[in-house]
Amino acid sequence: MGLHERLAGGVVIPAHPLALDDQGAVDLRAQRAITRYQLAAGAHGLAVGVHTTQFELHDDRGALREVWELAAGEARASGRSPVLVAGITGDVEQAVAEAELAVELGYEAALLSPWGMTERTEATLLARAAAVGEVIPTIGFYLQDSVGGLRLSRGYWRSLFDLESVVAVKTAPFDRYRTGDVVQTLLAHDRWRDVVVLTGNDDAIVHDLLTPYRATVDGEEREVRATGGLLGQWAVGTRAAVELVSAAGAAVASGSVPLDLMVQASALVEVNAAVFDVDHDFAGCVPGVNEVLRQQGLVRTARCLGRDVLSPGQSERIAAVRARYPDLLDEEFVAANRDGWLA
């Protein structure tokens, strides 16, 4: 099965966290355990080197290689074939070099993040996408403003979809209008069947998985929907995410959405509000993911490479949603298998 078919089949691709020890070095034992957890949970792919993996990791090429290599090795050892997505950063020269390293290590696609670029404009983003696309298939990325994204026009998306190397787009502006810009532009594009939409809107996961966008173009009826996602939220509760995507796909196929699925939608927003620290404009979103894993015993600390730290009260709020929504955070599954993953 080709990359397009695998991405279009309803994928859960968690954004891989970065586990550090108390001294701030990569904790390889915990890092390996996270990968094992996500694969055992049934994840269809792994996104490594992305925002949740901490963009500062890209400042150390040796550490980046180590983390990418470890995840790829665990994926091979699992006996499965998850889609390996490499988070790519920096200007063209750095991005191309990272893409070449990713291909060397067995990664199949690159998620293009704006972090580390000297000049972030639509023109520079498109030029970099074209250059990286010469090396590896690419995934476009609409990143929310609060963590470094910028507003992108429909013209930008039209030009991005012109690139045959673009196999998917991750919509994560946390904004329905901007999400609509991406999907409506794709609907009108000649490559509308070739580009898979992946939700990254952690505040609207279920809605994105259920909502079709439709249009008639030159007499042709078209429909586009996010069939899966690439999410920081799915770095935790990965098994529940796999079950959710399956349930959403079944609901779409039947033409009827169970009320319980919409109840789960609101519950996921509550969980995400704690983990991603909406009370403080997402300041603690990366350490929040690590804090869930710390409380569950998979990592030693919520520490990050950069300045990101937990916000006041965030740890307590995370503990509260863990108690309230244990199924959405895989509490029993992690407790039963944690020691084996850490072995």
The 3-class SS string of the chain reads CCHHHHHHCCCEEEECCCCECCCCCECHHHHHHHHHHHHHCCCCEEEECCHHHCHHHHHCHHHHHHHHHHHHHHHHHCCCCCEEEEEECCCHHHHHHHHHHHHHCCCCEEEECCCCCCCCCHHHHHHHHHHHHCCCCEEEEEECHHHCCCCCCHHHHHHHHHCCCEEEEEEECCCHHHHHHHHHHHHCCCCCCCCEEEECCCCCHHHHHHCCEEEEECCEEEEECCCEEEECHHHCCHHHHHHHHHHHHHHHHHCCCCHHHHHHHHHHHHHHHHHCCHHHCCCCHHHHHHHHHHHCCCCCCCCCCCCCCCCCCHHHHHHHHHHHCHHHHCHHHHHHHHHHHHC
Report the alpha-carbon distance of residue 102 to residue 56 in Å, rounded: 17
pLDDT in the model for residue 1:
82
pLDDT tens digits for range 64-113: 999 999 999 999 999 989 999 999 999 999 999 999 999 999 999 999 99
| Rounded (10°) CA dihedral 173, 174, 180, 183 | 60
Residues 6+ apart with CB under 8 A from 171: 142, 178, 179, 182, 183, 197, 198, 199, 200, 201, 208, 226
* Longest distance between any two alpha carbons in the chain, whole Å: 62
Q: Region 171-200: what's the mean pLDDT? A: 96
Q: How far apart are CA 174 and CA 178, in angstroms?
A: 8
Predicted confidence (pLDDT) at residue 311 exceeds the cutoff of 80: yes
**Domains in the chain: ranges and CATH:** 3-254 (3.20.20.70)
Query: Is residue 306 very low, low, confident or very high in pLDDT (cuts 50, 70, 90)?
Result: confident
127-149 pLDDT per residue, tens: 999 999 999 999 999 988 777 77
pLDDT value of position 106: 97
Average pLDDT over residues 15-32: 96
Token pair 């190397």 in the structure block, residue: 165
Percent of the chain at pLDDT above 90?
96
What pairs with residue 138 in β-bridges? 110, 166
Return d(Cα 289, Cα 277) in angstroms, integer.
Answer: 10
pLDDT confidence of residue 122: 96
* Residue among 131, 213, 133, 130 at smallest CA distance from 171: 213
* Pairing, β 220-224 against β 213-217: antiparallel
Per-residue model confidence (pLDDT) at position 269: 97
Q: What is the pTM for the complete model shown?
A: 0.96
- Hey, CA dihedral for 119, 125, 129, 130, is it positive or negative? negative
In whole angstroms, give the CA distance from residue 331 to residue 49: 26
Radius of gyration of the chain (CA): 19
